């Protein structure tokens, strides 16, 4: 593969080149990895500074409909929108989420939109790196807004929040006054909670749910990166395309404020450090998967199982031999 | 410290020597660590094969009362009982659980019992190793039964289950027919669920709760290490010392069966391997805490934050320099 050519075509905003480049960064093959690194270095600093929006919502809250309606609204304003997914559970089916494009049919046909399903990786660490690299590629290809969505399995919300400028939590209207079992940690990540399906028979319920979450958000500790009134809860109807423009106004206002106050830059720097540390940790642990290490580990495993060595003795011996 | 002398006194079942040895294994000081290793190697294979019982229960289920009543019943049979705790949250108070001995006042005065609060470690990995070493010391000191208790914060239940021969889950009677939010993963670890407080006004509720859990346990996948009827749910009253003997009978029957069928040995071997792997991982990551590594990490941190290097480039550079 001609990496210089691929680079130029990405900078010319060719979608097929972008898709091909993402396939390249998703590959686990060693030669592909080297090419991917070369490509990313060649593109670094190019393109525009996108707005990275993290979006979490469990199945059933209308996430696909929201992304489609919200994305169409943005492209109608002339913005280029990319949609990426972080979904460790998709690894189970051995590949990308089936129908990721069919569930956002209109948006996938939009020339200013680009939809990419989650890479198939059993390992969230691998998905995280590849998604961050896909974000960099989309930025180089001139996308203005990058939506990174997750269904919120395990640690995936943290992963998405650590690569986003702002984090949206999409929820469904809930009967009664109980909050929908949203974990406190997830609430604390959210910049804006969107209660979807504020339409038809559910409208009143959605408004009550929204008020409940607004109350819950007020109880959270104040964060320095929030202007007055944030984090906030709002109602939207993805189906009727209602409230989306108001939500977008809030997002742009929030980002303006954060950029002016220096929080945006500080957050990106902190995120870069987070991923640096994470890659070092993963890289260290990967040494255990080298063939020589695995062989030694198996030998020691047998000793430990037989009681000939204690776990600590075996660990010491293993660590001494790991370069 | 004279390690050979300490070793001999532990083998003579001197409690003060045992307490001192546990303090030694809990120390993070490098010279203490070397002494601890020497001591543990000197004791390996000595003493008796204890029954290691893991016990989890959230605050309020009557765990202390249960341990006291259950422990007193065992010591009355001539058995020597040690109680250890794995409680990562105790790190918050900077030390051991206040009143660990006062909350089990009778048992702590029993000559055949030994109670040791959780070591103060912010890091569950550290608590895990020290607790495993304390278990080994208690075995060398001739204890027949070792109760390892946890309040079940974070991963502590997994840690305890991975060092126990059998795992008890202590629960309180619950109103209504809803199960008490016990996570499926915890249910799957349990060999016996004990519904406590089956006395007075709560007796009927406890029996209903027990039946609910028995039903839930029947829905779990069958495990090869379970004889017919296990895992099972039973009611006990720690306060009235009722049902404890029946529970003990079930435990001994279960252990007999597992020993005969080879499951006991297989489980201990698998646990040793688990801890071997865990120590290798922790040992590898500890290399990042060496002074030279920390200095290099800080330099790269600054580069990453300034955008002069990508997280991946910095990670690569860091990993190349880590021996």
Say if residue A178's pLDDT is above 80: no
Among chain A residues, the shortest Cα distance to B266 is held by A305
Q: Which residues of A touch B41 (CB under 8 A)?
A: 310, 313
**B interface toward A at CB cutoff 8 Å?**
37, 40-41, 44, 129, 132, 269-270, 272-281, 283-285, 287-288, 297, 300-301, 304-307, 310-316, 318-319, 322-323
Q: Determine contact, residues B275/B125, Cβ cutoff 8 Å.
A: no
Q: Do A288 and B284 touch (CB under 8 A)?
A: yes
Neighbours of A290 (CB within 10 A): 13
Measured distance CA(A303)–CA(A299) in Å, rounded: 7
Exposure string for B267-295, b = 16+ CB within 10 A, e = fewer: bbbebbbebbbbbbbbbbeeebeeeebee
Q: Do B280 and A269 touch (CB under 8 A)?
A: no
Rounded to the nearest 10 degrees, the angle between the axes of helix A15-26 and helix A3-11 is 130
Q: Which CATH class, in words, describes the domain spanning B1-45?
A: mainly alpha
Q: Do A285 and B285 touch (CB under 8 A)?
A: yes
Residue that is written with structure tokens 């980002």 in the block = A255
Measured distance CA(A216)–CA(A233) in Å, rounded: 10
B119: nearest Cα among B196, B32, B207, B47? B32
Say if residue B205's pLDDT is above 80: yes
Of B301, B305, B319, the CB nearest to A284: B319
Among chain A residues, the shortest Cα distance to B36 is held by A312
Q: Which residues of B touch A287 (CB under 8 A)?
A: 284
Average pLDDT value for residue range A231-249: 97
Say if residue A158's pLDDT is above 80: yes
B77-91, B258-272, B275-289, range with greatest mean pLDDT: B258-272
A44-58, B2-16, B182-196, range with greatest mean pLDDT: B2-16
Say if residue B89's pLDDT is above 70: no
Q: Which residues of B touch A322 (CB under 8 A)?
A: 284
pLDDT in tens, A9-49: 999 999 999 999 999 998 888 899 899 989 998 998 777 78
* Confidence bin at B96 (pLDDT 50/70/90): very low
Contact partners, residue A251, CB within 8 Å, separation at least 6: A51, A53, A166, A192
The pLDDT of residue A104? 86
Least confident window among A73-87, A271-285, B169-183 = B169-183
B68: nearest Cα among B31, B108, B32? B108
Q: Which residues of A touch B312 (CB under 8 A)?
A: 37, 40, 129, 275, 279
Among chain B residues, the shortest Cα distance to A293 is held by B280
Q: Which residues of B touch A275 (CB under 8 A)?
A: 311-312
Say if residue A184's pLDDT is above 60: yes
The pLDDT of residue B133? 92
Q: Do B281 and A297 touch (CB under 8 A)?
A: no
Say if residue A121's pLDDT is above 90: no
What does the domain layout of chain B look like in residue ranges? 1-45, 48-261, 277-321
Among chain A residues, the shortest Cα distance to B318 is held by A280
Say if residue B94's pLDDT is above 60: no
Least confident window among A3-7, A83-87, A95-99 = A95-99
∠ CA A159-A161-A166, nearest 5°, is 160
Q: Which residues of A touch B284 (CB under 8 A)?
A: 284-285, 287-288, 319, 322
The mean pLDDT value of chain A amounts to: 88
CA distance B106 to chain A (A): 35
Of B40, B277, B322, the CB nearest to A284: B322
* Confidence bin at A235 (pLDDT 50/70/90): very high
The pLDDT of residue A85? 85
Average pLDDT value for residue range A249-275: 96
Q: Do A287 and B284 touch (CB under 8 A)?
A: yes
Average pLDDT value for residue range A140-168: 91
Given the candidates 3.40.50.720, 3.40.50.300, 1.10.357.10, 3.40.50.1220, the CATH classification of the domain at B48-261 is 3.40.50.300
B187: nearest Cα among B207, B214, B209? B214
Say if residue A264's pLDDT is above 90: yes
The pLDDT of residue A292? 87
Average pLDDT value for residue range A155-161: 89
The pLDDT of residue B105? 87
Strand, coil or helix: what is B85? strand
Measured distance CA(A215)–CA(A213) in Å, rounded: 5
Measured distance CA(B169)–CA(B190) in Å, rounded: 6
Q: Which residues of A touch B287 (CB under 8 A)?
A: 284
Selected residue with higher pLDDT from A252 and B219 = A252
Residue that is written with structure tokens 């049919």 in the block = A105
The pLDDT of residue B95? 36
Residue A39 burial by CB count (10 A; 0-12/13-18/19+): exposed, middle or buried? Answer: buried
Selected residue with higher pLDDT from A266 and B175 = A266
Average pLDDT value for residue range B232-244: 96
Say if residue A129's pLDDT is above 90: no
Q: Do A273 and B304 touch (CB under 8 A)?
A: yes
The pLDDT of residue A101? 56
A51-55, B62-66, B176-180, B318-322, range with greatest mean pLDDT: A51-55
Of A273, A305, A319, the CB nearest to B272: A305
pLDDT in tens, B3-44: 999 999 999 999 999 999 999 998 888 899 899 989 998 998
The two structure tokens encoding residue B241: 């010392």
Residue that is written with structure tokens 């008890």 in the block = B168
Of A40, A288, A310, the CB nearest to B44: A310
């Amino acid at each position: 593969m001609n990496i210089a050519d691929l680079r130029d075509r990405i900078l010319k905003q060719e979608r097929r080149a972008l898709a091909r480049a993402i396939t390249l960064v998703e590959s686990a093959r060693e030669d592909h990895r080297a090419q991917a690194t070369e490509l990313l270095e060649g593109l670094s600093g190019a393109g525009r500074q996108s707005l990275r929006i993290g979006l979490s919502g469990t199945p059933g809250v209308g996430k696909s409909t929201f992304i489609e309606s919200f994305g169409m609204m943005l492209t109608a304003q002339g913005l280029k929108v990319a949609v990426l997914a972080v979904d460790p559970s998709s690894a189970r089916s051995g590949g990308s989420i089936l129908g990721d494009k069919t569930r956002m049919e209109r948006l996938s046909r939009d020339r200013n939109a680009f939809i990419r399903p989650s890479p198939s990786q059993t390992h969230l660490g691998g998905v995280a790196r590849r998604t961050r690299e896909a974000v960099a590629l989309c930025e180089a290809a001139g996308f203005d807004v990058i939506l990174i969505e997750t269904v919120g399995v395990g640690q995936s919300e943290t992963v998405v929040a650590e690569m986003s400028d702002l984090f949206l939590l999409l929820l469904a209207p809930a009967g009664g006054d109980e909050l929908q079992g949203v974990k406190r940690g997830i609430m604390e990540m959210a910049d804006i909670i969107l209660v979807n399906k504020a339409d038809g028979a559910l409208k009143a319920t959605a408004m009550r749910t929204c008020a409940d979450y607004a109350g819950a958000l007020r109880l959270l500790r104040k964060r320095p990166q929030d202007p007055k009134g944030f984090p906030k809860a709002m109602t939207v109807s993805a189906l009727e395309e209602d409230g989306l423009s108001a939500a977008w106004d809030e997002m742009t206002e929030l980002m303006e404020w954060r950029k002016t106050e220096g929080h945006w830059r500080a957050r990106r720097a902190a995120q870069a450090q987070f991923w640096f540390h994470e890659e070092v940790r993963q890289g260290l642990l990967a040494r255990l998967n080298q063939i020589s290490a695995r062989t030694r580990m198996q030998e020691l495993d047998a000793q430990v199982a037989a009681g000939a060595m204690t776990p600590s003795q075996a660990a010491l011996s293993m660590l001494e031999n790991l370069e």
